[in-house]
Chains A and B, each alone.
Chain A
Amino acid sequence: MDLSPDQLTQAHYWMRLTRAFDDRVMKLHKQGKIIGGCFSQLGHEAISVGAAMALQPADVIAPMHRDLGAYLVRGITPRRMLAQHFGRATGVSRGRDTNLHGCGDLSLNIVGFVSMLPASMPVIAGVAHAFRLKGEPRVAMTFFGDGSSSEGLCHETLNWAAVFQVPAVFICENNQYAYSTPLSRQMRITDIADRAAGYGMPGVVVDGNDFLDVHTAAVEAVERARSGGGPTLIECKTMRMRGHAIHDNMAYVPQELLDAWAERDPLLRFEQHLRAHGLLDDAALADLNARVAAAIDDAQTFAEASPYPDPATLTEGLYR
């Protein structure tokens, strides 16, 4: 599917917004203003934005902790997301959950995730299963990593999704490391997508640092799912460019590997594409960066001015 110039420009905005938000979170953490763990998005922007933009508003998505772009595309505002990081009552989880965890909002068709990855995989299989039972032309999408591909739940879910031919799209973000553990300790194979054949579903490998490659594969998978063709496994090859979380200096990653991946930065590559097609010039980029910075400044002002949750509400919301 060819994206219109407007859609490409919109995708550029989401990717720049994601990166600027990420940079701000890192800075705020170093300043001691955000406490707790923070998970960098650096290098993952093309996957989260490219995949999320393949969905319709009625479709359901369950992003994980590298998918800030997907939350933003689906309508979680920078204000709510930064207030979430600050632990404020105006955050997505009202101070209940941390950073990108628990950022669900069914009014936006977003399912929040828990730390025990890939916990969202079976939930999204259930959402998609419901669509199939009800005959609704909707699709469900979720994300997991190379690390969580070793979990039994990953196997259970892909098998279930294939058995029932549910309209689901599973995006594996293969970023080479699960915390400090390299791929060679997770698997003997090169491509996780190879496993799709074992479940009886299509599996494709895409360049996770290429927005167009990710988006095209996601659109194809979403269309297949919506038309009754069942689930798809998409493996996006990428690299986690910062530590597992902000405390992790990832001394275990060879510098040459990071240098090589830095040359394949998803944003810079997308911007080269836009420039080559006359959709971006220096002035437009400066304007975009100014708009993005303003949105993040506004979010920070909002978050810092927001109240903390009232301790008296501690037990509220445990039950419906």
Chain B
Amino acid sequence: MSSKMTYLEAIRAGLRYEMQRDPRVLVMGEDVGVYGGAFKVTQGLLEEFGPDRVIDTPMAEACMVSVASGMAFMDLRPVVEMQFADFIATGFDSIVNFAATNHYRWGAPVPIVIRAPGGGGLRAGPFHSQNPEAWFVHTPGLKVVAPATPADARGLLISAIRDPNPVIYFETKYLYRSLRGAVPEGEAGIVPLGQAELRRAGEELSIISYGAMVHEALAAAETLATEGHSVEVLDLRTLKPLDRETILGSVRKTSKVLIVHEANMTGGIGGEIAALIAEHAFEDLDGPITRVAAPDTPVPYSPPLEDAYRPNAERILKAARELLAY
């Protein structure tokens, strides 16, 4: 059984499913209750679950994340909404120094989920468009997911909520209402953490991506197919822990790899994936590991600037053609 829904509706469906199943699950954040969230992801949840499980909070992200950790110690399962992924920086210390290290230091797990609506393309400017996932991928003790489809939006969220560790869930604002898809219902729709998904199989080139860029990569692959090229697209889905075997398996098959992410280049996840491939699949390569990512600037507001900033199918095509011709 499945139903068609938008990416945004799928996130809400995942929240509702877990809140109905487990009375310990609660949602907390700025404007998530009465207003239903800045993007309306949590709309209707207050009416269904009440103010003790859908909590409108003061504007205090650092406090909010650690309050969630304290609640988790007392056997609740809080899901914290950052209004924008950009704002997660104000809660950074509570995430990386407290939540991430706790189980290693004294053994108490911190089962919290932080939802972070990220990404650009919406003319939202430098502080409503960021992709800060690399900060958290670099932090031991966290898990990081980034769904690209409605099915994964629901399925990964359920897995994140059930995971006994702190999970940062990067959702993509650009896809909220622009992407609809089939979403399996019930337990069948659960997507395990740590498993990449092959979105398109191919023989000549692997494009490895996640989040909104998966769809740009698929568009590029479609165009390349009309030019006679067989390109595969791998959707990472979970950024930490990485699905190393699936990544390496794809590279060993195609021998050429293009890594695409919307976040800026330096210190991004693309570098980690490139190093993984260079270390473990060097002999299988038949071309330079190539990255398409945003330049190392803040995310600009003005349309021509943001369009020049944000990777897209056209830029992926250009890089892919060069790599295919190598």
Residues on A lying within 8 angstroms of B by beta carbon are 60, 92-94, 96-97, 101-106, 111-112, 114-116, 119, 121-131, 133-134, 140, 152-153, 156-157, 159-160, 163, 317-320
Contacts and interface: CB of A to CB of B under 8 A. Distances in A.
Interface string B94-121: 1001100111111111010000000000
B85 interface: no
B76 interface: yes
B106 A92 contact: yes
Which 8 A-B residue pairs are closest in the complex by CB-CB distance? Answer: A126-B70, A122-B66, A126-B67, A130-B74, A156-B63, A102-B105, A104-B106, A320-B164
16 contacts: A101-B105, A106-B108, A122-B63, A123-B73, A123-B98, A124-B70, A126-B67, A126-B69, A127-B70, A129-B71, A130-B73, A133-B71, A156-B58, A160-B63, A163-B58, A319-B165
B254 to A, nearest CB: 32
A150 to B, nearest CB: 14
B110 to A, nearest CB: 9
A160 B108 CA distance: 24
Nearest to B105: A102
Interface string B46-71: 00000010000110101111111111
A105 B102 CA distance: 11
Contacts of A131: 74
Contacts of B181: none
Nearest to A113: B98
A160 B57 contact: yes
A159 B57 CA distance: 11
B106 A127 contact: no
Nearest to B63: A156
Nearest to A132: B52
Contacts of B70: 111, 122-130, 140
A109 to B, nearest CB: 9
B103 A127 contact: no
B63 A153 contact: yes
B62 A153 contact: yes
Contacts of B71: 126-127, 129-130, 133
A106 B107 CA distance: 9
B141 interface: yes
Given A133-B26, A319-B165, A119 B60 contact: no
Contacts of A127: 70-71, 73-74
B186 interface: no
A96 B108 CA distance: 13
B244 to A, nearest CB: 16
Contacts of A121: 66
Contacts of B58: 156, 159-160, 163
A102 B98 CA distance: 10
B93 interface: yes
Given A123-B98, A134-B74, A320-B165, A96 B67 contact: no
A96 B105 contact: yes
Interface centre among A92, A123, A317 (most CB of B within 10 A): A123
